[in-house]
Structure formats: C-alpha cells, structure tokens
C-alpha cells in the first residue's frame, strides 16, 4: 500500500483510495472516539485487495498504529491478536511459543483482519479459509461501542460477522484457533501433464497437506507444489518430474523470494506460504481475479479453461488451482461446499485483462463460481449478491449492528442494495 496519504493506493496501484480523511490512531479509545464522530468510516488492512472493497469517500482508518498484541492462551488452544497485525507479525511469535495456525495464504504480508474480512484462503483439502480459524472477535460499533462476538456464545450471528467486508464495524482484535507447532517439507513437481491433473484431481489435490497447481493454461503441463506435514504419511504421488533446484511460482521471478523447497523440513510458517515474509513478492505489477467452485466441478473447469488457454496465456503471469474445505460463514465463497479455486495473476493492463476476466466468468459461472471478494470481477454488485444465499441474512445483520450504514461503502452499498 502506498504510504503517501494524498495519493494512497492499494498494493497493486489499480485503486486510488477516495478517502476524504485518513487516520492512524494510537489507542483504542482514540479509535472509538473517531468512529463515534464520523458519518462514514471503514478500516483498511494492508491494502492488498484488487477490488474496491476497502475504499471509501469518508474516513479511512489504518489500525497498524494501535499497540500490537499477540496473546497466546495455550490451555484454550487460542491466540488473540490485534486486528492491524499482518500474519507475518503473528506467526513468528506463535512458532517460538510452540504453536501454529492451520493455514496461511500465499504470502504472510497481508493483515489478519483484512484477510478474514474477504474470505482469503490458502490450499488444502482438509483446510478451511483463514476466516474459518476465527473463534471470536471484537468490533467497534457506530457509537464507538465495543461488541464481543464468539463462535460459542453467539452461534446465530457469528457466522455472519467474520467474512463481513468491513460492513459491520471496525474489528479491533481476533481470537484464532491454534494447534501444536508442526513441521512441513515442500517439493515441486514440474512437467505434470494437465490431462493427468484434470482426470485425477482428487489424487493430485490429496497428494499433500496443502497442494497448489500452477499453469498458464496455454500449454499442456503444470507445476504441482506439495507442502506435506512430516508427521503424516506421504501419499506417494509422483507425477511429472521432481524439481532439482528451487523455483518461484511466477515464471521469471527469483527463487530466493519463495519459501524453502527440495523437501527440506522446516516450521509450518516457513513452508505454508509461497513467499517469505522478509521479502516483498513483487512490486504490484499485476492484477488478480479468482473463483471458488464446488470441487466436483474441477474436471469441467479444467476443460473450459484449457479451451480458453490460447487467449489467456499471453496476458497471464501465472494461474493457480487450490482447494478449500467447506465452512458455514455466510459470505464465505467456500460456504457450504468443499471448493476448488481458480486464481489468475494477470499482467497489469486492465483494458487487456477485463475482457479475459469476462471470458473466464462466462465459462466458470455456469459451474457455480463465486468470485473472491478482494479481487477483480466483471460482475455487478447485484450479480455478486445473487451468488450468496445468505446475503439477505447478512443485510439484516448489517441493519442490526449499523442501522445508519456508517461502515458501508460503494462496494457494500451496491451489494446490499442500500446505495
């Protein structure tokens, strides 16, 4: 995210935030007063979304000036973190204390609150999206009031309040499930025939704890990245050829930016993400779109994208296929169905990419695709809303917690029909 507030943009630079005022409070009380005194306010995390989900014309507040806290409760298998922290700030102290999170996204540079709010995910047949690990959260409401919600005590509303696009209030802290630390090893298989991946997707996606398939859809092969837990049996899948040197998932990018490979064991937090926390994985020279489909649609989606391959490949840096376990979070794109996700890292040329996004959606929407909230789509807000059965319940929740729409923005107004 650009640090010059007058021209602040998101990470990719495709959104220039329209905020009338920016704020970076130093204490919870300052933040509560700020919220109470504003007509229209929302939080921005690390600004990694490509969609306008974080934008506002009112007050935009960063939470990275608040006191950082990572409070582990080993007896409860939980950690409570301040919302402005990035995963990178959380995973190192957690690992030092002998604990781990179930999953991470491709990079740990993203904020916890912002990632959770959009249903951000990593990969793994048995692993939910990052929001699925949220056990409780604290929100600032429109009067500056504090609300605590938890999975155990508020089962009626909690599933609606986690993937909430910033529309229910400003999240100040989150409690996440943790488990004992575990070791992983990562290896890459190159020249895996796409035919094989499509024909036997369950075997490939089940070949390790976390699996990513990279392709540009233009050729006949893929790279398969396996992240296996060393305390579990290796399913033994051995497609293609094992890479003999470190790789970067994005062709042409230096392998040093990627996490350790070649099957060398190491802590979970140094293997689950593709990119190392201490290095910036690129300079925002890309655009992204992504879709969650029922995983049973994988073979049909592979066939459809391969038929578009000659059009897509020249405009792609890379594309990635991952899996996400079903959850019950109302606006989670993985809600109610084990999912396969199709991700596209495009060249940074919106005019060129826009028709390709529409072409991809033409073939994936009939297969049940739901777009990622933080990425680009050709759909209108109303079309997006129609893909989420619980949107009506979510709208009611917003009316209950934020009757005047203080935390709304153009994105959520369009979605909820409140603009």
Ligand X SMILES: Cc1cc2nc3c(=O)[nH]c(=O)nc-3n(C[C@H](O)[C@H](O)[C@H](O)COP(=O)(O)OP(=O)(O)OC[C@H]3O[C@@H](n4cnc5c(N)ncnc54)[C@H](O)[C@@H]3O)c2cc1C
Question: Where does this chain bind ligand X (CB under 6 A)?
Answer: 11, 42-49, 53-54, 63, 83, 105-107, 110-111, 113-115, 117-118, 120-121, 165-166, 170-171, 281, 372, 374
CB of 219 to ligand X, least distance (A): 23
Return the number of the residue (216 or 320) whose C-beta is nearest ligand X. 320
Is 376 in a helix, a strand, or coil? coil
CB of 343 to ligand X, least distance (A): 7
CB of 157 to ligand X, least distance (A): 16
Tell me the residue length of the chain: 419
Return the number of the residue (212 or 261) whose C-beta is nearest ligand X. 212
Return the number of the residue (97 or 253) whose C-beta is nearest ligand X. 253
Return the number of the residue (239 or 281) whose C-beta is nearest ligand X. 281
CB of 326 to ligand X, least distance (A): 16
User: At a CB cut-off of 8 Å and minimum separation 6, what does 384 contact?
Assistant: 371, 377, 415
Nearest CA to 401 out of 105, 186, 142 is that of 142
CB of 48 to ligand X, least distance (A): 3
CB of 105 to ligand X, least distance (A): 3
Return the number of the residue (120 or 210) whose C-beta is nearest ligand X. 120
Q: How many alpha carbons lie under 13 Å from residue 71 in its C-beta half-sphere?
A: 10
CB of 139 to ligand X, least distance (A): 8
According to DSSP, residue 67 is labeled: P
Is 321 in a helix, a strand, or coil? strand
User: At a CB cut-off of 8 Å and minimum separation 6, what does 183 contact?
Assistant: 229, 230, 231, 265, 266, 267, 268
Return the number of the residue (121 or 325) whose C-beta is nearest ligand X. 121
User: At a CB cut-off of 8 Å and minimum separation 6, what does 355 contact?
Assistant: none
| Residue labelled with tokens 């619980």 | 390
Return the number of the residue (101 or 107) whose C-beta is nearest ligand X. 107
CB of 241 to ligand X, least distance (A): 26
How far, in Å, CA of 159 to CA of 109, rounded? 25
Distances (CA, A) of 288 to 78, 102, 214, 226: 32, 25, 14, 23
Name the β-bridge partners of 82: 173
- The helices-and-strands tally (H runs, E runs) of the chain is 11, 19
Is 117 in a helix, a strand, or coil? helix
Q: How many alpha carbons lie under 13 Å from residue 135 in its C-beta half-sphere?
A: 14
Return the number of the residue (279 or 303) whose C-beta is nearest ligand X. 279
CA dihedral over 188, 194, 198, 199, signed as positive or negative: negative
Return the number of the residue (52 or 222) whose C-beta is nearest ligand X. 52
Return the number of the residue (173 or 187) whose C-beta is nearest ligand X. 173
Distances (CA, A) of 72 to 147, 174, 308: 21, 12, 48
Residues 185-213, buried b or exposed e (16+ Cβ, 10 A)? bbbbbbebebebbbeebeebbbbbbbbbb
């Amino acid at each position: 995210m650009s640090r010059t507030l007058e021209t602040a943009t998101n990470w990719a630079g495709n959104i220039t935030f329209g905020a009338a005022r920016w704020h970076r409070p130093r204490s919870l009380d300052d933040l509560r007063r700020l919220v109470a005194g504003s007509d229209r306010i929302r939080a921005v995390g690390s600004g990694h979304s490509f969609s306008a989900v974080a934008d506002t014309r009112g007050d935009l507040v960063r939470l990275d000036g608040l006191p950082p806290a990572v409070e582990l409760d080993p007896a409860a298998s939980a950690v409570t973190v301040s919302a402005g922290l990035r995963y990178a700030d959380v995973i190192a102290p957690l690992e030092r204390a002998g604990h781990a999170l179930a999953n991470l996204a491709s990079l740990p540079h993203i904020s916890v609150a912002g990632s959770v709010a959009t249903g951000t995910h990593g990969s793994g047949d048995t692993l939910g999206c990052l929001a699925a690990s949220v056990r409780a959260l604290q929100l600032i409401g429109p009067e500056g009031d504090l609300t605590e919600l938890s999975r155990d005590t508020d089962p009626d509303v909690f599933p609606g309040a986690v993937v909430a696009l910033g529309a229910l209030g400003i999240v100040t802290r989150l409690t996440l499930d943790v488990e004992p630390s575990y070791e992983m090893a990562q290896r890459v298989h190159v020249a895996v025939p796409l035919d094989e991946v499509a024909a036997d997707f369950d075997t490939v996606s089940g070949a390790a704890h976390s699996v990513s398939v990279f392709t540009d859809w233009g050729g006949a092969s893929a790279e398969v990245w396996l992240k296996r837990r060393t305390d579990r049996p290796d399913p033994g899948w051995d497609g293609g050829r094992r890479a003999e040197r470190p790789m970067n998932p994005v062709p042409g990018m230096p392998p040093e930016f990627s996490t350790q490979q070649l099957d060398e064991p190491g802590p979970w937090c140094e293997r689950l993400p593709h990119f190392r926390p201490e290095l910036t994985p690129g300079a925002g020279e890309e655009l992204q779109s992504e879709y969650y489909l029922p995983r049973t649609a994988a073979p049909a989606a592979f066939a459809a994208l391969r038929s578009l391959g000659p059009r897509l490949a020249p405009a792609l840096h890379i594309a990635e296929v991952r899996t996400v376990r079903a959850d019950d979070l109302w606006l989670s794109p993985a809600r109610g169905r084990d999912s396969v996700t199709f991700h596209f890292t495009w060249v940074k040329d919106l005019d060129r990419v826009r028709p390709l996004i529409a072409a991809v959606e033409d073939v994936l929407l009939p297969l049940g695709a739901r777009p990622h909230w933080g990425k680009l789509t050709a759909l209108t807000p109303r079309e997006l809303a129609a893909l989420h059965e619980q949107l009506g319940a979510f709208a009611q929740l917003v009316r209950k917690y934020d009757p005047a729409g203080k935390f709304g923005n153009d994105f959520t107004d369009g979605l909820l029909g409140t603009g």
